[in-house]
Structures are given as structure tokens and as C-alpha cells.
């Protein structure tokens, strides 16, 4: 595949496919190190509703490094205690809220509003002369050679190619870049559909003050605070239940009858997602093509999808500088992770 006369933008060292939170964070961090990038997304706008609920203090360190800590705090609140309760409301496990006692000085975790943070990240990119963005390009394929990589995109003007020294796939759970790069997945056969219900809080006094995991074998359930003013419930689907039937209002109302707090919130989203255990079996990249997508979330526990993704690759090829600078404290990012729990629409 040769370079077309019509390229997507000026020459850059790095081509980032996907401008979700990971692609945007990567572009901002690269710019801090003086590395130019072009970030391309197929969608013109930030996805308007939250998907992720939680990030941890290491991610807050990243926002701090990018000069976005104040913005991130505007769209988040420290994670409260996390309680695991039995079906008859016995406390089984409790993780206390850690407001400022972590090695980084930040709260151990934050509940956040994903669209707010994504807008802040994109605004940061707009300020950098080293970052170009294109919001009308659908990645369709790539070819690597000795000098780098050439990627193909469908755009409103037709097919366009773009050459870069490196390409990083930040294109989410289904990752066309992963497929094009031949990075294979091993299915761990953990694959559960869950109903996710998001709501805008209308009466904060009625809402729980802690995150809850209801370990009811009859219907495992999650109930968590989100970013300021928002709430979420998640219900595991039982064998035989179909997505199109569980998103009906009557079905949801029935699920929420035992939750008094549901009176204090207005539902604005319902969707069924799969929690799918997958492992990258031949690495997360080689040569000029790397994968930094963050489909990693082991439900129903909050974990470090962002950390894994944003810190990937922790050492930029050809450089001795880690993208994620953790200072003199213990380096607590995980290097490129071979494991992935994919969350995707069925």
C-alpha cells in the first residue's frame, strides 16, 4: 500500500487511531515529550453518556501531569467506601474510602463523569501545536514497512492513507487496529451480559452514600455513585433473559422496586453490555504498531483499565523516558498488559 497524495494531515511521528480517553491522553502526553501526533476518530463528537464509572489515583496523577487535575476534580468525586453485602444485607466485605492517604497524595479512587473528562482532554489537545486531530476518518487497514506504517481510512472525501513512524491503536473494545495488526485474543470463557441503568440524581438525600455490590446468587447487582449528580445500577442477566426484554421500562421498574433510592433519580440510559474475559496472546504490538486500547475492566470490580491503557507502552520505543512519570514513589503502573476483559455491546 503506498502513500496517497491525499494524506490525513501533516507528517507526524505518531498516528493515533481512536480519540477516546486513551487516545486523547496519549496525544497529550506525547506532546509533553515533544512528540507530534495525529489522532483520528470515526466519530465527530465525544460519546455523550458515561461508560466508565471509576478511575484510581494513578490516573489522577496522569491528569495532574497533563495539567488537568482541577478539571478532572470538577467532573469527579472521591470514591466512597465499597461494601459487599449478602442477599439478606449482611456486610461481607468493606473497602474504606481513602481520601488522601495514597502514595500519590490523591484519593485512592474517583467516581467520575466520562464525557466531562473527555471534553477536558480534547480541549487540552486543541492548545497543542504538536497535536492534530481528524474526526471523520474510519480506520480500515494498515501496512508496515522498514520506515514505519501506512494506515488506510474511509473519509467523506473517499479513501485516504497516512504514513507515520508509529501507529497506536486506541480504538476501544472491538479494535480494528488489533485485528489489522494480527494481534489475537484468547477467550477465557467468562462472558456475562449485564444490564446497566444510569440515572440523574434528583434527590441526593435518598441516594446511598457508599458503593454497593449485592452478592445475591439469584441476581448479582451493583449500585454505585457516578460523577457528581449521577448514579448507576447494574444487574446480571439470568440465563434465558434477552437484552431486548430487560431494557423494557416495566422490567426495569420491577428490578428497582427494592431500591427506595430509585425514587431519588431519573433514569436516562439503559443498555446491556457483555463482560468478556479475553487475553492478548501474541503481545500488544511490535515494530511500528502498538495497541493501547483500554477495554480492560474486570466486572463488577473497579480496576485499572485506564492505568493499563494510558501507561502503554510505558517506555516509548526508542526512548528511555516512560510516558507515565510517577516521581520518586514506587512505580505502580502495570507494564503493557496481556490481559483484557472486553466490555462491549452484544
Ligand X SMILES: Cc1cc2nc3c(=O)[nH]c(=O)nc-3n(C[C@H](O)[C@H](O)[C@H](O)COP(=O)(O)OP(=O)(O)OC[C@H]3O[C@@H](n4cnc5c(N)ncnc54)[C@H](O)[C@@H]3O)c2cc1C
Q: Which of 104, 293, 312, 337 binds ligand X (CB under 6 A)?
A: 293
For ligand X, the closer CB: 135 or 315: 135
- Asked whether position 336 contacts ligand X by CB under 6 A, the answer is no
- Asked whether position 313 contacts ligand X by CB under 6 A, the answer is no
Cell numbers representing residue 259 in the block: 431500591
Residues within window 31-90 making contact with ligand X, judged by CB under 6 A: 40-43, 51-55
SS3 of 255, please? helix
- Asked whether position 172 contacts ligand X by CB under 6 A, the answer is yes
Residue 309 and residue 229 in contact, taking contact as beta carbons nearer than 8 Å: no
Cβ-proximal residue to ligand X, closest one: 20
Q: What b/e readout covers 183-221, taking b as 16+ CB neighbours within 10 angstroms? A: bebeeeeeeebbbbbbbebeeeeebbebbbbbeeeeebb
End-to-end CA gap in the chain: 33
Give the x-and-dash track for 23-42 against ligand X (CB under 6 A).
x----------------xxx
Q: What b/e readout covers 318-331, taking b as 16+ CB neighbours within 10 angstroms? A: eeeebbbebeeeee
Cell numbers representing residue 232 in the block: 448507576
- Asked whether position 138 contacts ligand X by CB under 6 A, the answer is yes
> Backbone phi, then psi, for 125, in 5-degree steps?
-65, -35
Q: How far is the CB of 320 from ligand X (least distance, A)?
A: 26
Q: Which residues have CB under 8 Å from 144's CB, separation 6+?
A: 287, 288, 289
CA distance 311 to 322: 8
Q: Which of 14, 15, 18, 180 binds ligand X (CB under 6 A)?
A: 18
Q: Which of 130, 196, 236, 278 binds ligand X (CB under 6 A)?
A: 196
Q: Which stretch binds ligand X (CB under 6 A): 95-103, 262-270, 277-285, 299-307?
A: 299-307
For ligand X, the closer CB: 83 or 171: 171
Q: What is the DSSP string of 35-47?
A: --EEEE-SSSS--
- Asked whether position 275 contacts ligand X by CB under 6 A, the answer is no
- Asked whether position 17 contacts ligand X by CB under 6 A, the answer is yes
Cis peptide before 300 (omega within 30 of 0): yes
Q: How far is the CB of 205 from ligand X (least distance, A)?
A: 25
For ligand X, the closer CB: 206 or 344: 344
Q: Which stretch binds ligand X (CB under 6 A): 14-22, 98-106, 158-166, 212-220?
A: 14-22
State the residues that interact with ligand X by CB under 6 A: 17-23, 40-43, 51-55, 138-139, 170-172, 176, 196, 273, 293-294, 297, 302, 305-306, 309, 343
Amino acid at each position: 500500500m503506498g502513500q496517497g497524495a491525499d494524506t490525513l494531515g501533516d507528517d507526524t511521528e505518531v498516528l493515533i487511531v481512536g480519540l477516546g480517553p486513551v487516545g486523547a491522553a496519549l496525544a497529550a502526553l506525547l506532546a509533553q515529550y515533544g512528540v507530534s501526533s495525529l489522532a483520528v476518530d470515526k466519530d465527530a463528537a465525544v460519546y455523550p453518556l458515561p461508560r466508565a464509572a471509576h478511575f484510581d489515583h494513578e490516573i489522577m496523577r496522569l491528569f495532574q501531569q497533563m495539567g488537568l487535575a482541577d478539571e478532572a476534580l470538577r467532573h469527579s468525586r472521591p470514591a466512597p467506601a465499597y461494601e459487599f453485602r449478602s442477599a439478606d444485607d449482611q456486610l461481607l466485605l468493606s473497602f474504606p474510602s481513602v481520601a488522601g492517604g495514597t502514595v500519590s497524595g490523591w484519593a485512592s479512587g474517583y467516581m467520575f463523569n466520562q464525557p466531562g473528562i473527555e471534553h477536558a482532554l480534547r480541549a487540552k489537545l486543541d492548545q497543542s501545536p504538536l497535536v492534530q486531530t481528524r474526526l471523520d476518518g474510519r480506520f480500515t487497514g494498515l501496512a508496515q514497512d522498514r520506515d514505519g506504517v501506512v494506515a488506510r481510512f474511509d473519509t467523506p472525501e473517499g479513501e485516504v492513507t497516512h504514513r507515520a513512524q508509529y501507529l497506536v491503536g486506541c480504538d476501544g473494545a472491538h479494535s480494528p487496529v488489533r485485528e489489522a495488526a494480527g494481534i489475537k485474543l484468547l477467550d477465557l470463557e467468562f462472558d456475562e451480559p449485564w444490564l446497566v441503568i444510569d440515572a440523574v440524581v434528583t434527590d441526593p438525600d435518598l441516594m446511598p452514600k457508599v458503593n454497593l455490590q449485592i452478592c445475591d446468587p439469584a441476581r448479582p447487582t451493583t449500585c454505585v455513585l457516578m460523577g457528581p449528580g449521577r448514579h448507576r445500577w447494574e444487574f446480571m442477566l439470568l440465563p434465558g433473559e434477552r437484552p431486548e426484554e430487560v431494557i423494557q421500562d416495566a422490567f426495569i421498574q420491577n428490578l428497582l422496586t427494592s431500591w427506595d433510592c430509585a425514587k431519588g433519580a431519573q433514569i436516562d440510559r439503559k443498555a446491556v453490555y457483555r463482560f468478556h474475559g479475553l487475553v492478548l496472546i501474541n503481545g500488544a504490538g511490535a515494530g511500528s504498531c502498538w495497541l493501547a486500547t483500554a477495554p480492560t475492566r474486570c466486572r463488577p470490580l473497579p480496576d485499572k483499565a485506564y492505568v493499563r491503557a494510558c501507561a502503554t507502552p510505558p517506555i516509548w520505543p526508542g526512548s528511555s523516558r516512560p510516558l507515565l512519570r510517577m516521581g520518586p514513589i514506587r512505580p505502580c503502573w502495570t507494564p503493557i498488559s496481556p490481559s483484557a476483559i472486553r466490555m462491549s455491546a452484544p
